[in-house]
Chains A and B, each alone.
Chain A
Amino acid sequence: DAGITQSPRHKVTETGTPVTLRCHQTENHRYMYWYRQDPGHGLRLIHYSYGVKDTDKGEVSDGYSVSRSKTEDFLLTLESATSSQTSVYFCAISELATGGEKLFFGSGTQLSVL
């Protein structure tokens, strides 16, 4: 898992509540990513970070914010959770490899918004 830990692994919450998911890495990678995976869709990028306090939006960033105050931690916050945000969330880091950077994913967080 390239030293990536996501927490919690499972979360059930109610509509309108804030939720924060945590991604922790142990190998000092500069780039970190948050994706969501839904049936009928490929993985979609929510936000990414290219360094401490350096973040940018992905293709499905509405309703989400991120923070990276330390190299090892990348937090994803749902400011006011909605049922459409029920999904599996994956954190990833990238390493340079032959042909391009290689992504390593965490084990995911299953989030259910009721």
Chain B
Amino acid sequence: KNQVEQSPQSLIILEGKNCTLQCNYTVSPFSNLRWYKQDTGRGPVSLTIMTFSENTKSNGRYTATLDADTKQSSLHITASQLSDSASYICVVGLNSNSGYALNFGKGTSLLVTP
């Protein structure tokens, strides 16, 4: 079964600090990998999309990396802000003979404290 595993499950950091969230996947054949941010009570919002050939992509203070060989991705948040408190979801796209599908991780819950 195609799996997307995220770690840690939850994280608390001080405002201004950096943090890194991890995503390991077994999805094959791989198509793309996305990171989404989900604020409490809202729908997920796209942060980055990376294809097989890309190994890094930035969106402001968010930088995603991808190692397609080891099937690992990370999301690095620089100089965290209180508004970064949210759930971060890793999503891996699968492209096979039976069609295209998205596999969602369970998310990492980040709390940024003053």
By a beta-carbon cutoff of 8 Å, the part of chain A in contact with chain B is 1, 40-45, 90, 92, 97-100, 102-108
Contact = CB atoms under 8 A, between A and B. Distances in A.
Contacts of B32: 99-100
Contacts of A1: 43
A108 B105 contact: no
Nearest to A103: B46
7 contacts: A42-B4, A45-B102, A92-B43, A100-B51, A102-B34, A102-B46, A108-B43
Nearest to B51: A99
Contact of A102 (B31, B41, B42, B49): B49
Interface residues of B, number: 23
A99 B49 contact: yes
Interface in B38-63: 41-46, 49-51, 54
A108 B93 contact: no
Query: Can you list the 9 inter-chain pairs with the closest CB atoms, starting with the nearest?
Result: A105-B43, A42-B104, A99-B49, A100-B32, A43-B104, A99-B51, A42-B106, A102-B46, A90-B43
A44 to B, nearest CB: 7
B97 to A, nearest CB: 16
